[in-house]
Structure 1
Amino acid sequence: MANQLINDMIITKRALPLFRDTNGFIKNVDRSYDSYFGKSGAKIGASVNVRLPNDPVVGDGATVSPQLITERSVPLTIAYRKHVSLSFDTQERTLNIDDFSGRYIEPSVNNLTGTVANIAMQLALGAANMVRNTDASGNTIAPDSSTWLQAKAKLTKQHAPTMDRFAVLDPDTDANTVSGLMGLFNPQAKIGDQTTTGSMQAPLLGVKEWISDQTCLVTTTGTFDGTATATGVVTNLTQSGNTIPSQISQIYAPQQSVIGTSAIVGTLNVGDVITIAGVNQVNRVTKASYGTPMQFVVQQAAVAGATSIVVSPALVGPNSDGSQAQFQTVDATPTADANITLVGKPGETIRRNMIFNKKAMTLVTVDLMEVNKGVVDCGMANLDGISMRTLTYYNGTDDSLGTRLDVLFGIGVLRPEWICIVPDIVDAG
């Protein structure tokens, strides 16, 4: 292909499919709310409230007792604007487009997409479901096929659709998982692909796609030693009454509770998962108890000596007369002196791999305004609902041209219960 003058529209149209396809995690997040936002000149702070499903209680017999329906919503906010800023001279602008793309566009878009994925990973710290594979001493070890199947079962018990389930693995966990599945009786072609590529192949174990992603978070569990007990006092937070850091409260309120406790020994970090003795998970439809401890994720770091823990999901028990409650999550509220247990060991450093349903999270991108004054060139395009702008401007200070690629976007975790964390230990050696 002959050299040509590469303008901003050419750059944008080459960058967009790279942004869409570079990161498998971002590529498979729900995109259905793009149309809720304006397509021209949008700004950070634009927001819509996305309604969550209602939860009417099923009655018995011929007599009805009309129930009040409590509407719940999650704000989906255009909260982020990320860009890559580059400088070119006119000679570089006349490269072959493939050469220009390889040298400038691809690495720029790769880093931009990775940043978006990392934000999504941070927000996924609000997922309470966790399935660990452990050794005889209770230490977290690499997940095996049974671990991933149990994680899949967690999603099913939360009524996550069985279609469009994806797994995101740190590259080291990907290697460990492939190694552990080599001996299974699976389709020979699939095993052959895994052996050849060294990566998990899909569909397998009920997962539509296995995604190796270096942006998976690595976190360290707090030092909580498990000696704290609940006081029996639980306060459910409201949209306006919580004290959670703004980025997380936008996503999860009002699906949080404050659990009163005795003074905790050690610390709890955001993303740590706990259980409370006698507080079990229920079927969200029938409200029948599963008989297994409900898992809660810590939403605000708790220091040593703290007497409360902020958790998600909200702790909603049955009505005082024992009847089913709307949005019920547990079969009983904590009794005084109920033991609080950390899921995992204190001080473990883990890779936060996960399995999720596509509808658990959503990503929206919005058109940025085309600027004219002081701009040499501007190109804005949209591909499959993803919007990006490339803009070149003149800098009179040093007589140079600068080019920037911008993405304005929002990410919402609409159904955190449709995400399950599958940790893998980070070997200190």
Structure 2
Amino acid sequence: MASNALINNSIITREALAIRRNTNDFIQNIDRQYQSQFAREGAKIGATLNVRLPNDYVVQDGPVVNPEATEERSIPITVNYRKNVPMTFSTQERTLNIDDFSERYIAPAVNALLGQVASDAMTLALDVSNMVLNQDADGNLLSPNPNTWLRAKAKLTECNAPLNDRYAVLDPNTDANTVAAMANMFNPTDRISTQTIDGQMGSKILGVKGWMQDQTVAISVGGAYDSKATATGAYGSYLPNGQPAPVVTISSVTSPHSSAITVSAINGGLNKGDIITIEGVNAVNRVTKKDRHTLQQFVVLADCPSGSTAIPVSPAIIPPKEDGTPVPYQTVAKAPQSGAAVKMVNPQGKAIRRNLLYSKKALTMVTVDLELVRAGVVDCGRASLDGISLRTLTYYNGSDDTRGTRLDVLYGLAMLRGDWACIVPELAE
């Protein structure tokens, strides 16, 4: 490009999208299959798509069929995230060589914008109920080692997550500790070379397709709950809009999304993202509905202050019928019994890095085209690449005789299958 040619907004937008492709690996490896189902022109914040999840059925014995109605599940994807980066530069600066202009202006802006998008996506880790810890004999949390990651991978397989397209996103400190823990493993020469030269996890190893380090990995602090409360033997369902339904008896199943277990008053409080178990409430094989003889883990969906007697959790507590007959979408081998101990899995009161192992189809992201504004602006450009839509708009500010430019993105995020992801925590110390 000639040095005296004006760089317009279409050029800026295309360059920004090209830079984005190499900026954030985590954003690159989020499912995009629902992108085309959103309006592409002039979309407004608040657009929602209810994504139907795969139906679940129970196999029956013998030649006689006992018809049962199909219960369909859906998860809403709401386009409610709007982020922008403002920039100001002169017409003279727009005549720079595009490489110089990209280095000075576009690249830093894209890095900041995508960092915020990634940070928003990382908050989805607070909806994941699976957690695998590396602990010493005294129960102290240690940095994850190869066995920890292998157990996390097994957890996904237990939940019938696809075997391909599994990714791990690690805090830079956890990434360093994981590389060090694998130093003595028998690995292919090219894998050892990548880890030694780059100092980070690389391509497929331990059955994980891609290992990524990201400084936006979520950090959460465990509640002060003392793990001494007990279940009352009842739970209530949370409806898809997040409003609690009345408490019902343990034999009822009214919502496949989440439940609110009733407990004796908790002491110390639970925080959103804490993981708990309930004595006697075991996980099941999601296909056969057979008891796995391991406690089902539940993630706390909202802060519960000390004294609370109800805990909203996911997955929903869906037990078999009272006679033991399996039901669709069953999540547990038995419902909570009165007096069952409720224990916290993550360390009490400790900050942890929520490193994530996940199937690509566990979470999804959509971006929507923002309107191409023509009136009252100097220039406006919009483009899409790899399922990401970005708009660049330049306007004149008469009060100080300057031109401002903004990069905008409008998007939605959703955790579609929380059981297809697993937290591998490390103390944030």
If the TM-score is normalised by the length of the shorter chain, which range does it land in? Answer: over 0.9
Displaced runs of 4 or more, over 3 A? none
Moved more, 391-400 or 139-148: 391-400
Q: Distance in 2 between matches of 1:156 and 1:380?
A: 41
Q: 1:396 aligns to what?
A: 398
Letter in 1 for 2:410: L
> 2:55: which partner in 1?
54
The RMSD of aligned alpha carbons is 1.2
How far did residue 395 of structure 1 move?
1.3
Aligned counterparts of 2:18 and 2:193: Cα–Cα separation in 1: 29
Query: Structure 1 residues 275 and 69 mapped into 2: Cα distance closer, same or farther (>3 Å)?
Result: same
Conserved in 1, the CA contact under 8 Å of 2:237 and 2:244?
Answer: no
Counterpart of 2:313? 311
Q: What pairs up with 1:30-429 in 2 under 5 angstroms?
A: 30-240=31-241, 242=243, 255-427=257-429
**Alpha-carbon distance in 1 for matches of 2:200, 2:241:** 45
CA contact (8 A) 2:267 2:306 kept: yes
TM-fit CA distance, 1:241: 5.7
Partner Cα distance (1:89, 1:150) in 2: 55
Q: SS of the counterpart of 2:21?
A: helix
2:116 counterpart SS class: helix
CA separation of 1:161/1:233 partners in 2, compared to 1, >3 Å: closer, same or farther? same
Deviations 1:187-207 (Å, cap 9, x if unpaired)? 122112101110012110000
- 2:266 touches 2:306 (CA, 8 Å); kept in 1? yes
Cα deviation for residue 32 of structure 1 reads 0.8
| Cα drift, residue 243 of structure 1 | 5.4
SS where residue 406 of structure 2 aligns? strand
Conservation of the 8 A alpha-carbon contact between 2:122 and 2:218: yes
Paired with 1:313 and 1:9, the residues of 2 have a C-alpha distance of: 45
- Deviation by residue 1:55-78 (Cα, 9 ceiling, x = unmatched): 111111000011011111111111
Match of 2:13, SS? helix
For 2:160 and 2:16, the matched residues in 1 are separated by 37
Identity of aligned residues (%): 55
Work out the CA distance in 2 between the residues paired with 1:419 and 1:135: 24
Q: Is the 8 A contact 2:25 2:212 kept in 1?
A: yes
CA distance in structure 2 between the partners assigned to 1:311 and 1:283 by the alignment? 19
In structure 1, distance between residues paired with 2:18 and 2:415: 24
Question: How far, CA to CA, are the matches of 2:365 and 2:347 in structure 1?
Answer: 33
In 1, are the aligned partners of 2:256 and 2:318 still within 8 Å (CA)?
no
Name the CA shift for 1:322/1:61 in 2 (closer, same or farther; >3 Å): same
SS at match of 1:310: strand
Q: Give the SS at the match of 2:118.
A: helix
SS of residue matched to 2:184: coil
AA matched with 1:304: S
Q: In the comparison of the two structures, how many residue pairs are matched?
A: 419
**Structure 1 residue runs without a partner (length 5+):** 245-252
Instruction: Pick closer, same or farther for the CA change 1:254–1:44 going to 2, 3 Å.
Output: farther
* Letter of the structure 1 residue corresponding to residue 47 of structure 2: A
Deviations 1:79-128 (A, max 9, x none): 11111011111111111111110111111111111111111111220000
Secondary structure of 1:129's aligned partner? coil
Distance (whole Å) between structure 2 residues aligned to residue 48 and residue 152 of structure 1? 30
* Aligned amino acid, residue 2 of structure 1: A
Describe the SS at the equivalent of 1:99. helix
CA distance in 2, matches of 1:92, 1:134: 56
Equivalent residue letter for 2:20: F
1:171–1:213 Cα contact (<8 Å) kept: yes
Deviations 1:119-151 (A, max 9, x none): 111122000000000122211110000000000
The residue identity in structure 1 corresponding to 2:17 is L
Task: Tell me what 2:8 maps to.
Answer: 7
What letter corresponds to residue 152 of structure 1 in structure 2? K
State the distance in 2 between where 1:188 and 1:373 align. Answer: 59
Q: CA deviation at 1:235?
A: 1.1
Name the CA distance, whole Å, in 1 between partners of 2:332 and 2:225: 23
CA distance in 2, matches of 1:53, 1:414: 11
Is the contact between residue 139 and residue 344 of structure 1 (CA under 8 Å) also seen in structure 2? no
| Mapped contact 1:20–1:386 kept (Cα < 8 A) | no
* Amino acid in the other structure paired with 1:286: T
Distance (whole Å) between structure 2 residues aligned to residue 21 and residue 233 of structure 1 = 50
SS at match of 1:235: strand
TM-score by structure 2 length? 0.96
Q: Is the 8 A contact 2:148 2:424 kept in 1?
A: yes
Is the contact between residue 270 and residue 305 of structure 2 (CA under 8 Å) also seen in structure 1? yes
Question: Structure 2 stretches of 5 or more lacking a match?
Answer: 246-254
* C-alpha distance in structure 1 between counterparts of 2:336 and 2:49, whole Å: 35
